[in-house]
Structure 1
Amino acid sequence: MREHPAEPVRGIAVLADDLTSAGDGAAPFRGTGHPAKVLLSGAVEPGASAVDGVVAVDLGSRLLDEASAVALAAWSADAFGDSDLLIKTVDSTLRGHVAAEVRAAHAGSGRRAVVVAPAFPAEGRTTVRGVQHVHGVPVHETDFARDPVHPVRTADLARLLPEADVLEPERFGKLPELVDGGGVFVCSAVTDADLDLLVASVPRPGDVLWVGSPGLAAALARHHSRIPAEPPPEPPRARRPLIVVGSAHPATRRQLDRLRTRVDVTAAETADAPAEALRALRRSTAPVLVVHTPDARRAAAAGSLTSELALVVRELVADGLVDGLVLTGGETAVAALEALGAAGLDLADEPEPGVARGVLLSPPRLPALIKAGGFGDDGTLDRLCRLLMDGGLPTEDEPSTAGGPSAEGGRTS
């Protein structure tokens, strides 16, 4: 198949349904030379557009009722409709108001066609004959079927979007004429090469509303790379990071369990007593602090638990006890940023698939990493903590003595 040369793009808009999706949708473009910012929806001015670089907006729509989510998707797609690239992110496990938001964004954007490709091969999320899988298992048969807010009922995109044509990679060569005719196209992909082929098959990317997860964003970024005027500045290093865990996903809970085994970590659970957790962390002399929600998280309590986490973050930062953040879970990240009065994140890079690293846009200008709850292996939080500190933690083979005998490492409350 003849690939089409990439059109130069400068204005790129990413419309996301939560903050982690905004971060990992924009981060691949930062790595290919585009300046990029992630904004909370409240920081977007009326009439906003993506003129130069990437603007990724967290609409927060995954936590809204469907009617509100639809209105936001239509409004934002219209507001950013003149962008060279317009990307609507969806969760790679199909949580949220996927079909309703795709239709609303299509209508608001005025784009000729919609290309839907939620595969994220780097995290084991693949699309086979229009069915979404996680490590080879249809997503509705995985832990995501028990998500407390948006349980996944079907993995079949053809059921979610019955108006769509499902295309396998061998049919991507038909996309130029298909896009010209308009419509919605669900595109299967099991490798990054499939996604690269998909992007290369569309000659005029501005005709399309692109719908996908970080896998599609990375393919678009590779195809539309830009030579930067200068490399992005390296984020400052944290002397004492705070790891904030609000996600109930088993992957994050395993990461948390591993992090809590370190002797140089103090971890506190908010439960029903955030003041007690705050006291424990204030007393600690450990080099790394962790605050997290209870392991058994109830959907009904999700909002209050997140607010409790945000309270602890605000107080520890105000006290000057921490100078860097790792935020896990989209709702958690938004609550923490709002509590700090931060409008968003000035992106620096993507150190791991689905992880965005940068600096808070407004004071306090802390370095921060954000990660979706379902991403990563058991060592991810440990690695991100080390990255934030620039190797300040010992390896697993070298037990830490940081903080001396008085350090309250390893304790949990």
Structure 2
Amino acid sequence: MRWCWRLSRRCNWRKTGARVCCPRKMIAVIADDLTGAAELGGIGLAYGLEVELSVSVNPQSKADLLVIATDARSVSEPEAVREMTEVSRALRELKPLLIYKKIDSVLRGHILAETRAQLTVLGLTKALLVPANPALGRTLVGGQYFVDGKPLHQTHFAHDPEFPVTDSDVLKRFKITTEPVFVRNPSDALPDRGVVFGNVEKWTDLQAWVERIDHQTLLGGGFGFFTALLDSRFPPKQKTATLVAPGNTRLYVCGSAFKESVDWVKKAVHSVQYMPKARLKSGALDESNRTTWATKIAERLQRRKPVIMAIDPTAVETSTTIQLRTDLAKTVRDVLNRTHIDELIIEGGSTASAVLREIGVSRLAPVHELATGVVRSKAIEIPQLHVTVKPGSYRWPPELGLF
């Protein structure tokens, strides 16, 4: 049975103002990290949708696009499954038109285990996951993943601290146990059950996958597939030249280990406040060290000078990723307790989740898509604060640059 997804030709939305022909307008997204959630929220803005971004399901939400940011990629597999199960169950009660599973574009995370759990909760038989995005040079061809034409395991993703990529072959990367896993082209017959990864080489492949959706399939993937889905349903919002002027006090929090990010921080040497070396060497940042660090940052911000909080990768000895992330988050909290901040700009999804959790922000209202995947939002719980999140592998937009 075909899904009522596309706008009916009989539905004249230009005259009626109606966006859809189905009884429930809401589209729901479950993302495995905060930057992915914000990325899809930004797409919603581009199509004129009212977007709500939250870390939990709001039963009273009236948003056209409700995006739930989990922290599933940064926790253990059992924890990720538990979180995805709880969120999927809560969203099911809202009866949205569509639940979309946002996954990492290069398939990091606990994807198969989460997907199996979600299929059970939602009562579905198969999942179609389309992670690639040709617009960013990321393609899946014959089950082999490429970034700008280079096999994935030969790129910087091979050195990811939490999910290093060791093989570009999708099927070899996943342990196939109880659930059958397939790789298919848009024109191929699809199985009745299991998890299907969709090959994508160009934009028209994404459009072709949209034509294959039905009621018995959990849809998931990255930025590209979600854009194709919205593009098939909504008229794009007419773009206007909007100048975004960030506030005077800007705090950057860089939690990414990508080389491009590390190099960017090095260029801004006069604005950087690195985590104290005592923490990196001893494995414990005591209260006095953190207080001193937070005070230095706050004093600079009070002089209306931007500050970059970062970790010097050459100085790390014993600390784990989670410990460092926690220290960054607690220090941001301490800085906010000392001074006002207009703009909090966070790089890295796991870092962003830890920071927002520590400062008590659970809901964001996206207002600007500064660049692909880089979204500026109002913090609901701290009205004067704007939060911008950026995936570690994406470039900084000019509006947020320091040079």
Please tell me the TM-score bracket, short chain as reference. Answer: 0.7 to 0.9
Measured in 1, the distance between the counterparts of 2:318 and 2:166 equals 17
Shift in Å at residue 236 of structure 1? 7.4
**Matched residues in 1 for 2:364 and 2:243: separation?**
14
Query: Structure 1 residues 4 and 107, CA, compared in 2 at 3 Å: closer, same or farther?
Result: closer
Alignment match, 2:273: 268
User: Corresponding residue for 1:404?
Assistant: none
Question: What is the deviation of 1:19?
Answer: 0.9
Task: Give 1:302 deviation, angstroms.
Answer: 1.8
- The corresponding residue for 1:150 is 163
CA 1:146–1:298 in 2, change beyond 3 Å: closer, same or farther?
Answer: farther
The residue type paired with residue 136 of structure 1 is: G
SS of the counterpart of 1:347? strand
The Cα shift of 1:121 comes to 2.3
Alignment of 1:134 onto 2:167:
no
- DSSP-derived class of the 1:78 partner: helix
Task: Indicate the SS of the match to 1:350.
Answer: strand
* 1:315 aligned partner: 334
SS in 2 for 1:348: strand
Letter in 2 for 1:209: L
Cα separation, partners in 2 of 1:57 and 1:351, compared to 1, 3 Å: same
- The one-letter code matched in structure 1 to 2:120 is A
Q: Which runs of 5+ in 2 are unaligned?
A: 8-19, 280-288
Q: Which amino acid aligns with 1:202?
A: R
Match of 2:349 among 325, 330, 349: 330
Match of residue 265 from structure 2: 256
Q: Which runs of 5+ in 1 are unaligned?
A: 387-392, 397-413
2:222 to 202, 206, 213: 213
Partner of 1:399: none
CA RMSD of aligned residues (A): 2.9
* Identity level (%): 25
Aligned to 1:357: 376
Using the alignment, how far apart are the partners of 1:203 and 1:328 within structure 2?
33
Higher mean alpha-carbon deviation, 289-298 vs 319-328, is at 289-298
Equivalents in 1 of 2:232, 2:368: separation in Å? 17
- Paired position in structure 2 for 1:278: 294
The answer to whether the 8 A contact 1:74-1:109 is kept is: no
State the match for 1:76 in structure 2. 87
Partners of 2:66 and 2:245 lie apart in 1 by 22
Equivalent-residue separation in structure 1 for 2:162 and 2:194 (angstroms): 30
What is the TM-score when the length of structure 2 is the normalising length? Answer: 0.80
CA contact (8 A) 2:244 2:399 kept: no
Equivalent residue for 1:295, pick from 289, 307, 313: 313
CA-CA distance at 1:320 after TM superposition: 3.0
Work out the CA distance in 2 between the residues paired with 1:213 and 1:110. 23
**1:44–1:236 CA distance, 2 compared to 1 (3 A):** farther
Q: Is the 8 A contact 2:295 2:335 kept in 1?
A: no
Residue 370 in structure 1 maps to residue 389 in structure 2: yes
Aligned to 1:189: 200
Q: Deviations over 1:199-232 (max 9, x none)?
A: 1x1364x44311111122222222222688xx9x
Give the CA deviation at 1:257.
2.7
2:212 pairs with one of 172, 190, 202: 202
Give runs of aligned pairs for residues 24-43 of structure 1, distance below 5 A. 24-40=39-55, 43=56
Task: Render the CA deviation track for 1:13-35: whole Å, top value 9, x for unaligned.
Answer: 11111111111123212210211
Contact conserved, 1:6 with 1:203, CA < 8 A, in 2? no
Query: 2:245–2:399: 8 Å Cα contact kept in structure 1?
Result: no
> Which amino acid in the other structure matches residue 322 of structure 2?
G
- 1:167 and 2:187 are equivalent in the alignment: no
Structure 1 length normalisation: TM-score? Answer: 0.78
- Between the aligned partners of 2:334 and 2:110, the Cα distance in structure 1 is 34
Change (3 A) 1:64 1:312: closer
SS for the counterpart of 2:320 is: helix
Question: Which secondary structure state, in structure 2, belongs to the residue aligned with residue 111 of structure 1?
Answer: coil
Which of 213, 225, 230 is 2:234 aligned to? Answer: 225
Distance 1:51 1:16 in 2: 19
